[in-house]
Structures are given as structure tokens and as C-alpha cells.
Amino acid sequence: MPNIAIVWDFDGTLSPDDSTTKVVEILDPKNGGAVFWQYVKSLRGDQQRPKWEHVLASDAPIRMYALSRIAFREQVPLNRELFQFVKPHIALYDKVPAFLRKLKLFEEMTFFKDVNLKIHFFIVTAGLKELVEIILPEGLIAWTFGCTYKVTVSEPEHIPESVPVFCMDETMKTRSLFEISKGSFQDENKSVNVRVSPEHLWAPFENIIYIGDGYSDVPALSLVRSKGGIGVAVHDPKMPKNEVDAKHKKLRLDRRADLVTEASFEPTGTLFKFLSAQCERICHRYHAEMAA
């Protein structure tokens, strides 16, 4: 069964908010997110090491550790109960659920049914997996890749301890794309490191569309495009034009994305028209292969 995988980043892509900062602001309203990110930078040791030695991928475990320390201090577990409380404080861009449902309807068209082509949505985020899963309506997302904690109880204080067990960074985003392509995300018997012949891929890379908003998405965008897939970079529609130009100039110059546009989820907007056209193009390819 052929599949189209439309893979979304979350913060800044489907939501204008930074979900991790929102969690921090709720746990520590007095100090807020700015102090948290300053703490992350201090732990990272920017001032103590040569610039060439800085590795961006180290940000993810440091960020998760810093958040776990705040949660421990406040004696609050980073679990689903907390995330349900955080959920109302994180907004999706307007019309995101309707946008996804309308795209999904393409697979009900006769043209798609004739080749049994399905459309699936994935989230690959440096945010918290369990939080993102409850923000989006149930049933829309095939799988979410993101940072996770396991809650234990420290002794002898009996304070909940949230231990980071999976950190999502730029490199892990690319691994997630291979898991999607090979179908190992849904089958524990399929290793992401095992070679899979093209005809047995769950979604070949030319059927993958990756959508992100920032520099942390560049490796994923580059990987997808290098293997025949499609990359899209989006930005907040409210962002001033000079900031948009500065943010996406390098993406354009380095040809990291096939489309750079607003994170607008109107059914008549550029993003919907582009994704619709790409899904139809993929479907045409399968029809051509059947006719050959």
C-alpha cells in the first residue's frame, strides 16, 4: 500500500507558541521563560568554550534537564495530568484541524482510491511528545515524535522526579524520517537500521513532505529534498517582513525548501494549494507506473 507522509514540526509551524516555554511559565510564573532559556545557555557553557566547539545538538538534553529541575523544585510531575492543564495555554494556528482533515479527504477521491494511495500526518518536534499529542484532535496524527519523560519518585522525599528518556534534536529529526519511511514507527520488529528495498518502504522519500519553520529543521529539509521529497518552510503571518526576510534568506539561498510561505491554513491559501498539488503529483506517478 503506497503512503504519502506529510511531516510537520510543531512550535512555530502548527502553533505560533513555543510549547516548552509555556510549560515553564506555568510551572514558574514568577521567573518566566526568559530565565529558563538563560539557564539553558549558561549550562551549555557558551562563554567557556571556543565558538568552533559549540554543538547545537547538545541543546536538547540540556533543555530537558533544566525543565526537569524546575518540575522537581515545584514537586510537579511532567505527565499527562500537567499537560492537560497546559493545553488551553497553547494555541494552534487558525483552522489547522480543518486544514488537515481537508487534505486527508483527497484519499477518498476515486483518483487516489484507484492506486490505494493514503495520506498520513506526522509530528516531529523538539517539544514534548505527550503535550503535543493532546493539543491536536485525536485521530488526525498517525504518529508523534518528540521529547519524553518518565516519572519516578525520589527517596526519601517522595518528590516526583521527571527523568528525560528521549531527546529530540536536529539529528534525531532525520532519524524520525527514516522511521517513517521504513514504517518502523508502527512495528517494533522493523529496525530503522535495517536496509529496506524500495518496493517495501512504507513511504519512499519521494512521498514525504516535510514542513518546518526554523534552522533546527534544516537537516530534515535537506535530507528529504536530497532523496526526492518536498521541503516547505513557513513563518508566522504576523512576523514583520524584515524579520521574515532575515529568517528565510539563507533557506532560499541554500535551496533548503521548495516553498517558503506563511503558516496560513486557509483552504484557499498558498500552503493548501501547494500541498494539494504535491499529493496529486505523487498520485499521478503511481498511475503512470501502473500503466507502464
Q: Is the pTM of this model over 0.85?
A: yes
Q: Are strands 230-235 and 208-212 parallel, antiparallel or unpaired?
A: parallel
Q: Is the peptide bond before 156 cis (omega within 30 degrees of 0)?
A: yes
Report helix, strand or coil for 55. coil
- How do residues 154-164 score in pLDDT, each as one tens digit? 777 789 999 99
| 241 contacts 213 by C-beta, under 8 angstroms | no
Q: Which three cell numbers stand for residue 123?
A: 509530528
Say how far apart CA 23 and CA 6 lie, in whole Å.
Answer: 27
CATH number of 3-291: 3.40.50.1000
Q: Which three cell numbers stand for residue 1?
A: 500500500
| 14 contacts 130 by C-beta, under 8 angstroms | no
Q: Write out residues in the chain with pLDDT < 70, as ranges.
A: 46-58, 189, 191, 250-254
Say how far apart CA 149 and CA 163 lie, in whole Å.
Answer: 5
Of 178, 213, 208, residue with least CA distance to 275: 208
- pLDDT of 57 reads 44
- How do residues 23-63 score in pLDDT, each as one tens digit? 999 999 988 788 888 888 888 776 665 555 545 446 888 99
Q: Where are the domains of the chain?
A: 3-291
Q: Are strands 143-153 and 118-128 parallel, antiparallel or unpaired?
A: parallel
Say how far apart CA 203 and CA 25 lie, in whole Å.
Answer: 39
Cα 227 from chain centroid (whole Å): 19
- How do residues 240-256 score in pLDDT, each as one tens digit? 888 887 777 766 656 78
